[in-house]
Amino acid sequence: MPEVPSAATTSPRPASAAHPDAATCAAAPLELAVSTVVFSLRPHPDTGELTLWLPLVRRIRAPFQGLWALPGGPLETDQDLVSSARATLHQTTGLAPRHLEQLYAFGDVGRSPAPADTDTTAAPRVVSIVYWALVRQDEDAAAVVGENVEWFPADDIAEEAGPLAFDHDVVLDYALRRLRAKVTYSPIAHAFLPEQFPLADLRRVYEAILGRALDPSNFRRQILAQGTVEDTGERMTGTAHRPPKLYRSNPHRSRYALTIEEPS
Amino acid sequence: MPEVPSAATTSPRPASAAHPDAATCAAAPLELAVSTVVFSLRPHPDTGELTLWLPLVRRIRAPFQGLWALPGGPLETDQDLVSSARATLHQTTGLAPRHLEQLYAFGDVGRSPAPADTDTTAAPRVVSIVYWALVRQDEDAAAVVGENVEWFPADDIAEEAGPLAFDHDVVLDYALRRLRAKVTYSPIAHAFLPEQFPLADLRRVYEAILGRALDPSNFRRQILAQGTVEDTGERMTGTAHRPPKLYRSNPHRSRYALTIEEPS
DNA sequence: TCAAAAGTGTTAAGAGTACACCCATGT
DNA sequence: ACATGGGTGTACTCTTAACACTTTTGA
């Protein structure tokens, strides 16, 4: 009983007419997986500048054995899509995501161009629903990784992690573009920061994601004008300079992005 | 062989470890369907103003028998996701889509709240990947509909088509919001128009989608400034007033939106 | 000649950008 | 005191919005 009103039309659809009540076995050599691109901000090992990092998992079986892949797994029957992504994220980082959002469903037959050494002959068709998540900077320190899990700077993946398994190069590239686009019109950057934070930290998050410097004074004005943060009244102490005010993100204002982007 | 590096981690994941090579039958009482929200512009029957219409299909079997649903069908194993959407669209309208784009994957366990009269006891879990399409105004006239297929004004669906099957009310609402948001930053409106068109027609498309009037002169300037249309040199004849210039959409400029929104 | 829609020009308000400058703390 | 980053003010540019006005056709 999938959503199959197709048989209701007069148009020809001979093959599908046989399908509709298919809990039958022969019908589906087709699998559904959920993967997640987990972004976190850490200093770059070379330059020291804050950049995006993400965890990859080394495949220990065919196909693409030995290559790095996005963390993920098959969808359990009794599990929601987000739950599956959240579980994956927890397994890979030990953390609960602050921001978790569906990215795209990848399912073309021709995807995952297999290298020569792997046998894809008997490989079933796989449709992947990909999510992306943002890890809070303060929690990130507490992240744990299992064996065969490693974090890489997002922009160095091509060199350091070689070509990824399946079509995960494409997926990752898409996730990066989406993050960079979305940060310009939605207050998701807050998701990288702890409960309270100075505006300079928020600016550094934006700079890390966009890869360019922002004018501190203009940044302050714009952020305050859009009302996505509110003054806590407190100040950060122990700095080597004037103590900055601490802000928290304003849930009333930031709801907009979610309302537009997420259904239900 | 799905994307399952889960077994590579040290974290516990007992259930999934049994999954990976599952072309086995017991593993998946889970189905994958592709549905499509097909938008077209037609005059509203009451007001006469141009508004969004879309085709729905009446379900002829359980669950949700008798209710209206988005056109769609199960994903064939040898078929790409877009191909499936395109096929659905062709069956329902007899047309080839000018614009076809993935909307969202809906797959929560609790989705499709069944009314009392339907038996959902043995209903399998269904994950739907939903696309949305735009039909060209000139082609729309040539659209054919089968039996059990009917077009409705998008904003009147709640009253005229009652509650939809599955969670299609939510899906439709999301599609509408996405269309209205996207039209403000991407030249998709062109997809409703024929090869050549006067700017006033393009404006009327925007007005229909956004549901509000736009200043003709400012609209002209903005559209011309963004360079998404180019002058054909021709003019429309037979109007009851000054003959307007005809434009065509400029593919070089409109590529931006696709690059950002579509992966690969 | 008039109505109707195409198309141009002008102006005012607001948002984005660059940058000079003051403030408050630890060293 | 001074270096450092926090924080404010200002002038300039660019975009957006409102609307007056001219142009060209059919009736």
In a domain, B88, yes or no: yes
Contacts of B5 in chain A (CB under 8 A): 57-60, 69, 71-73, 148
Is residue A83's beta carbon less than 7 angstroms from any atom in nucleic acid strand C?
Answer: no
In a domain, A163, yes or no: yes
- Residues A247, A206, single domain; the answer is yes
- Residues B220, B153, single domain; the answer is no
Strand C: positions under 7 A of a protein C-beta atom: 3-9, 16-20, 23-27
Neighbours of A186 (CB within 10 A): 16
- Residues A105, A174, single domain; the answer is yes
Give tens-digit pLDDT for A178-228. Answer: 999 999 989 999 999 999 999 999 999 999 999 999 999 999 999 999 999
- Residues A136, A234, single domain; the answer is no
Mean pLDDT of A109-123: 62
Reading phi first (left if > 0) and then psi (alpha if -120 to 50, else beta), residue B157 is in alpha
Higher-pLDDT residue of A37 and A253 is A37
pLDDT at A26: 44
- Residues A71, A129, single domain; the answer is yes
**Domain final residue, candidates B162, B182, B202:** B182
**Domain final residue, candidates A154, A182, A210:** A182
pLDDT at A9: 32
Q: How confident is the model at residue A4 (pLDDT cuts 50, 70, 90)?
A: very low
Q: Which of A235-239, A257-261, B117-121 shows the lowest mean pLDDT across its residues? A: A257-261
pLDDT at A253: 59
The helix or strand, by DSSP H or E, that contains position A256, with its residue range, turns out to be helix A251-261
Give tens-digit pLDDT for A143-166. Answer: 988 889 999 999 999 999 979 999
Q: Of the ranges A26-30, A127-131, A255-259, B14-18, which is most confident?
A: A127-131
In a domain, A103, yes or no: yes
Residues 230-249 of B with CB under 7 A from strand C: 235, 240-242, 244-245
* CA atoms within a 13 Å half-sphere pointing along the CA-CB vector of A50: 17
The enclosing domain of A213 has a CATH number of 1.10.10.10
| Alpha carbon distance A25, B175 (integer Å) | 33
Integer distance in angstroms from CA B173 to C1' C15? Answer: 32
- Residues B171, B48, single domain; the answer is yes
- Interface test mutation site (partner A, options B3, B118, B166, max chain A beta carbons within 10 A): B3
Phi/psi at B123 (5° precision):
-65, 130
In a domain, A6, yes or no: no
A75 and B20 within 8 Å at the Cβ level: the answer is no
A29 and B77 within 8 Å at the Cβ level: the answer is yes
Give tens-digit pLDDT for B183-216. Answer: 998 999 999 999 999 999 999 999 999 999 999 9
- Residues B63, B173, single domain; the answer is yes
Neighbours of A120 (CB within 10 A): 14
pLDDT at A110 over 90: no
In a domain, A234, yes or no: yes
- Counting one residue from chain A and one from chain B, the pairs whose CB atoms sit within 8 A come to 254
pLDDT at A254 over 60: no
Answer for the pair B173, B79: CB distance below 8 angstroms, yes or no.
no
Range of the domain at A148: 30-182
The enclosing domain of A96 has a CATH number of 3.90.79.10
Treating both helix axes as pointing N-terminal to C-terminal, what angle do A216-226 and A199-210 enclose, rounded to 10 degrees?
A: 100
Q: How confident is the model at residue A19 (pLDDT cuts 50, 70, 90)?
A: very low
Is residue B199's beta carbon less than 7 angstroms from any atom in nucleic acid strand C?
Answer: yes
Q: How confident is the model at residue A112 (pLDDT cuts 50, 70, 90)?
A: low
pLDDT at A17 over 50: no
**Domain final residue, candidates A161, A182, A203:** A182
- Residues B66, B173, single domain; the answer is yes
| Alpha carbon distance B222, B224 (integer Å) | 5
- Residues B227, B145, single domain; the answer is no
Closest CA to A22 of B16, B35, B25, B148: B25
In a domain, A201, yes or no: yes
Weakly modelled stretches of chain B, pLDDT under 70 = 1-28, 112-123, 253-264
Enumerate long-range contacts of B251-255, CB under 8 Å, 24 or more apart.
B253/B187, B253/B226, B253/B227, B253/B228, B254/B186, B254/B187, B254/B190, B254/B228
In a domain, A7, yes or no: no
In a domain, B72, yes or no: yes
Question: In chain A, how many domains are there?
Answer: 2
| Alpha carbon distance A168, A187 (integer Å) | 27
Cis bond upstream, residue A63 (ω within 30): yes
- Residues B244, B175, single domain; the answer is no
- Residues A120, A38, single domain; the answer is yes
pLDDT at A124: 76
- Residues A103, A140, single domain; the answer is yes
B94 and A11 within 8 Å at the Cβ level: the answer is yes
pLDDT at B118: 54
**The pair of three-digit structure tokens given for residue A143, joined into one six-digit string:** 């992240």
